[in-house]
A and B are shown apart, each in its own frame.
Chain A
Amino acid sequence: MTDSICILSARELNRRFVEGELTACQITDAFLERIDRLDGKVKAFLAVYHKRARQQAKELDRKKANNEKLGPLAAIPIAIKDNMHVEGEITTCGSKFLTNYRAPFAATAVRLLEEADAIIIGKTNCDEFAMGSSNENSAFGPVHNPWALDCVPGGSSGGSAAAVAARFCPLSLGSDTGGSIRQPAALCGIVGLKPTYGRVSRYGLVAFGSSLDQIGPFAHNVEDVALIMETIGHHCAWDSTSLDTPPGKFQKALDGNLEGLRVGVPHSFLDDLEGEPRKYFEENLDKFRELGATVVDVDLDILRYSIATYYIIATAEASTNLARFDGVRYGVRSEKAKTLDEVYDLSRQEGFGPEVKRRIILGTFVLSSGYQDAYYKQAQRVRTIMIQKFATAFKNCDIIAMPSSPSTAFKIGAKQDPLQLYLEDLYTIGANCAGVPAISVPAGIASDGKPLGFQLVGPQQGDVEVVRIAAALASATGHTQLMPQLEG
């Protein structure tokens, strides 16, 4: 009974609740039971809100019994990446520094979910301060890919991706600064969307790279992404970069029609793609052609420089954003500190993991006097070129297709070299630099039994179209029906 509820889509769960076939308590209990039974293998969660979620469910059942108005996400359990605030609960950001930090306010995205009557089921594990591509940088241990438990789920939103893949919840929120939603979505065989920069409020998301960060949903089908985007895509007065336009009619747009669609492929940039990633990429392009689309070439060679550009800009912004973790006002203060300087130096030494320290130092370097022009300003100029190249490409096509990641999930511990891990984001980083919306949908299962992802990138503010096209493709390929077997 439990698992037959857990494999349902978010929309179906909501429908069964609204029509009285299932109570919110039954739904919540089913997912909590599955998490308790199986998350020991996956370790997707850092906190499971047994009490809080059951209270929300009871309240919803009461509302329903009294015929009160129900929000569009009523009774849907949703997990939140642990770098976003749920009021009154701990936000660790996957770091030792914040093991005791209790959020005094809710992130706007979380508040909007709760106002829509969703049930917040818990906080998921992530790379520390969202820095990583494998979820191996969490201070609380790695997350295990539900498709292959000795492999990484991707990162930095590894926990949120694994939770949906394992059917611990039908929806979750992640954050994407350089690919941290799309790459784990690909490695976990699910759908993950990074909206246009500014589409979803960053208020209550602990900042990493403020000009790149964006909150977005994970789901095991594209229609559920359309549903949740209508709730979280609202303007927010607390985020000065929040778009002042309505979220968009995502669900109404889902017409499944791809006739005449022009799909742009940056063939030259994808020159090195080979083996099974190439095979599955081409298969998905063929599916587009079957559905009446044409494939055209676009020039995005500039993306060869995207990793270098990103690791200058993101680390520079991170060095500034993480300066607030000084042991003074919140977080774990070093017990050894005898002077104020030691409060800063020792709290940060003890609280931050090696990858965070590496990126802060790199960011400090590229912003330092004498180097700022050569590195930081140059990276910002290259970023301008990237924005222009994407805009030019969209003059000749409606959507751009790329792989989501260069390979399937690798074994935990296999990649020790930081630079090797940075290269995992080769196909995803460009969209963050250009502020454009991008989604990863499952591309198929490779011969090693692990998923690959197919990425669709749209023009700025083209989120509704990106989701519409992704839904049509996913419907035709059927890859979103596949799920990992966790039992036995």
Chain B
Amino acid sequence: MAEMTDDEIAWLAKLCRIKCSQERREQLRQDLHKILGYIEQLRELDTTGVEPCNHVLETVVNVMRTDEVGETLSRKTFLDNSPDQVGGMIRVPPVLKQKS
């Protein structure tokens, strides 16, 4: 397949929310090119009429249960791991850039 461009890597990095420096993007571009080159071999296989694998075991059944409140994590326990909290809620920086 055609080599990926820096723009394409930048787009993927944006999709998965990982900030990447120019240098890092170039390294990723080269790595991905190599790996995708290897993965291309899957295209050789004739898979007409084969269903994509949904679940690895045929015996799986849907395991829905009745919608009843059971054991839950307490708010305090949950917040113990949060980086920043205020008034029993998780605090994050502004969603929009502040006009300074």
A161 to chain B, nearest CB (A): 25
Contact of A319 among B16, B19, B47 (CB under 8 A): B16
Within 8 Å of chain A (Cβ to Cβ): is B45? yes
Instruction: Evaluate whether A311 and B90 lie within 8 angstroms (CB atoms) in the complex, with A104-B80, A349-B20, A434-B56 already known.
Output: no
CB of B45 within 8 A of CB of A104, answer no
Interface residue tally of chain A, by bracket? 35 or more
| Cβ-closest chain A residue relative to B61 | A244
Q: Answer whether residue A362 sits at the interface, using C-beta atoms and an 8 A cutoff.
A: yes
Give the contacting residue for B47; candidates A311, A337, A378; CB below 8 A: A378
Instruction: Knowing A348-B17, A361-B18 are in contact, say whether A343-B92 is a contact too (CB < 8 A).
Output: yes
Count of inter-chain pairs, beta carbons less than 8 A:
161
Within 8 A of B (CB), among A315-364: 319, 323, 326-333, 337-340, 342-346, 348-349, 352, 354, 357-358, 360-364
The distance in angstroms between the C-alpha atoms of A383 and B80, with both chains bound, is 41
User: What is the CA–CA distance of A368 and B47 in the complex, to the nearest angstrom?
Assistant: 21
Interface of A (DSSP majority class): helix
In the assembled complex, A8 has its CB within 8 A of some CB on chain B: no
From residue A252, how far is it (CB to closest CB) to chain B in Å?
23
- Interface SS of B by simple majority: loop
A319 closest partner in B (C-beta): B16
A308 touches B19 (CB 8 A): no
On chain B, the residues within 8 Å of A381 by CB distance are: 47, 50-53
Q: What are 16 A-B pairs with beta-carbon distances under 8 A? A: A102-B81, A105-B73, A198-B60, A211-B53, A211-B55, A241-B60, A330-B83, A339-B94, A358-B32, A387-B56, A418-B31, A419-B35, A422-B35, A435-B56, A460-B56, A461-B57
Which residues of A are at the interface with B, using a C-beta cutoff of 8 A? Answer: 100-102, 104-105, 196-198, 211, 237, 240-241, 243, 305, 307-309, 311-312, 319, 323, 326-333, 337-340, 342-346, 348-349, 352, 354, 357-358, 360-365, 368, 374-375, 377-385, 387, 417-419, 422, 433-435, 460-461
